[in-house]
Amino acid sequence: MSDWWRGAVIYQIYPRSFQDGDGNGIGDLKGITARLPHVADLGADAIWLSPVFPSPMADMGYDVSNYTDIDPVFGTLEDFDAMLARAHELGLKVIIDQVLSHSSDKHPHFEESRKSRTGRYADWYVWADPQHDGTPPNNWMAIFGGGAWQWEPRRHQYYFHNFLASQPDFNFHNPQVQDWLLSVMRFWLERGVDGFRLDTVNFYFHDKLLRNDPADFRRKAKPEWNPYDMQYHLFSKNQPENLHFLERMRALLDEYGDRAMVGEVGDSHHAIELMGEYTSGKRLHMAYSFEFLGPDYSAAHFRGKMAAFHSGAPKGWPCWAFSNHDVVRHATRWARHGADPQALARQAAALLLCMEGSICIYQGEELGQTESDLAFHELTDPQGINFWPENKGRDGCRTPMTWEKDAPNAGFSDSPPWLPVKPEQAGRAVDTQAGVEGSVLEFYRTMLGLRRETPELKTGKTRFFHTREPILAFARGDVLCAFNLSPHPVDLSLSGAGESLLAQAAEISGGTLSLGANGFAILTGGEPTAHGGN
């Protein structure tokens, strides 16, 4: 086995927004197939495909009604096979999203389960009796707002949903449910996929006793915009039974040789610990982290989270990302830390691609793409619709990929797209950057090439230097990576610095590394001799 996933760079494709191949304004598999050379030319090792299965699209495909087919809006199984074949032809592995924690309420199994307390699927979802006053069985909250229990009059019971009421949670305590979900994974493995991205992997099991989640133990100055974050989710997720099911999944993948799983660990309290636990032994190959998807852009934050994982799980393997389809794009999120948007985007790319672990790049990230500013009437995301205006939801990071600045809808589609293409995003189209020295796109190609050609940057161990803000410095093997995470120049004293492999706004003179605004240097050898920074 090659363990191709160790240190791999995985390019996330959000199918609705990558490329429209049939002219209806929605991205699809034929469109993806046509644009795969862009991903291969970028230098990625694999693609991660967000869900393309049949779905009512209440949560844009994360509410699955058929796990072994393709939604007509994206094409057919034949189109999927053609996309898979083309990716492999270009040297790209293919990882597909698996949403196993819950299904759509339109899934035949749930439609049968909700009819009565008897029958084949009666215990396939999480059902509970009401309390004596008719209220839900406990205080668990739903991520998209309100309580996590929905009344079903035909059963005289509530069912549990971590997300929308139209996304009922499977009952993983039922062995039949586990076996069936493993058969779903086998279907796609037989079809030739190279692995899975496991949505909400720590949500599979719930507390059998349905105990109340306690209040968040951290002091809060004011209520969260989402009441879900006012609780510490001790019982509604993160259950120890999860570990055995992860081992069952790993055993399945091991039957097929060189395949891999990356699990999305969504938890605001001890995600790093869970990542370590979930990738220890024969469980997940990688754990996808949320730690760098927030507003913090400081040396202490990056150093602390990376060091905590590597010290807590020395045999585990993380998968780091700065952006995805669920969060504000990092070029917008971290804008105040940059003197120039392009310089910040290049620095973020260099930092991400110097990290120990595997890496996920979200489509458009390689263009320095920013968050789209949408009006309320343009939204489709239930999160934004439910929590507007405090939170505008996830549509702003899901707007179409921009290929040609002056083409209709920036080359995404000849028809009005499902989300609008704004001029600011069109201005960063691929055709405005390809072949342009200094562009964010060309920098990503260069940086990906450096990571691929420098073994230390793919698999070398990390050694951190405790520099003062805003300097982040660490070594990967004998390669030194130093970053000024601010729009103000700083100096760092160095000894033994060798050749510069790649740099921005950086100069070495007399043992001093001068880093300009958002400057960085990737060097062979050398280490700080003083703390540097402010």
Q: Is 423 exposed, middle or buried (0-12, 13-18, 19+ CB in 10 A)?
A: exposed
- 271 confidence band (pLDDT: 50, 70, 90): confident
Average pLDDT over residues 80-105: 98
Count of alpha carbons within 13 Å of 519, Cβ hemisphere only? 16
In sequence order, which residues have a C-beta less than 8 Å from that of residue 148 and are 6 or more positions away?
A: 136, 140, 141, 142, 160, 161, 162, 236
CA distance 376 to 384: 8
Q: List pLDDT tens digits, range 225-259.
A: 889 999 999 999 999 999 999 999 999 999 999 99
Q: List pLDDT tens digits, range 164-179.
A: 999 999 999 999 999 9
- Please tell me whether the peptide bond between 417 and the residue prior to it is cis, using omega within 30 degrees of 0: no
CA distance 401 to 412: 6
Structural domains of the chain, with CATH: 9-101+175-451 (3.20.20.80), 461-528 (2.60.40.1180)
Residues 384, 377: contact at Cβ < 8 Å? Answer: no
Asked whether the whole model's pTM tops 0.85, one would answer: yes
Q: List pLDDT tens digits, range 491-513.
A: 999 998 789 999 999 999 989 99
Q: List pLDDT tens digits, range 282-324.
A: 999 999 988 999 999 999 999 999 999 988 888 889 999 999 9
- 533 confidence band (pLDDT: 50, 70, 90): low
Q: Which of 20, 63, 97, 199 is catalytic?
A: 199
Task: Quote the pLDDT of residue 267.
Answer: 73
Task: Quote the pLDDT of residue 531.
Answer: 67
Average pLDDT over residues 440-448: 98
Q: List pLDDT tens digits, range 344-399.
A: 999 999 999 999 999 999 999 999 999 999 999 999 999 999 999 888 999 999 99
Percent of the chain at pLDDT exceeding 70:
99
Question: Catalytic residue at 255?
Answer: yes
Q: List pLDDT tens digits, range 13-28.
A: 999 999 999 999 999 9
Percent of the chain at pLDDT exceeding 90:
90
Question: Catalytic residue at 453?
Answer: no
Task: Quote the pLDDT of residue 534.
Answer: 61
Task: Quote the pLDDT of residue 376.
Answer: 95
Rounded to the nearest 10 degrees, the angle between the axes of helix 175-191 and helix 77-89 is 60
CA distance 175 to 182: 11
* pLDDT reading at 1 higher than 60: no
- 119 confidence band (pLDDT: 50, 70, 90): very high
Q: Which tokens hold the place of 366?
A: 């390689």
**Average pLDDT, whole number, for the chain?**
95
Q: Which tokens hold the place of 324?
A: 């995805």
The DSSP secondary-structure symbol of 167 reads: S
- 268 confidence band (pLDDT: 50, 70, 90): low
Identity at 533, one-letter amino acid code = G
Helices (H), 255-340: 271-278, 299-312, 330-333
Q: Which of 190, 255, 437, 499 is catalytic?
A: 255
Angle at 256 (CA atoms; ends 108, 324), nearest 5 degrees: 65
The DSSP secondary-structure symbol of 336 reads: G
* pLDDT reading at 220 higher than 80: no
CA distance 355 to 338: 20
Element (H, E) at 157: strand 157-160
Place of tokens 């001890």: 270
In sequence order, which residues have a C-beta less than 8 Å from that of residue 155 and are 6 or more positions away?
A: 114, 115, 116, 117, 127
CA distance 383 to 290: 18
Smallest Cα–Cα separation from 356: which of 280, 423, 392, 302? 302
Smallest Cα–Cα separation from 188: which of 278, 250, 97? 97
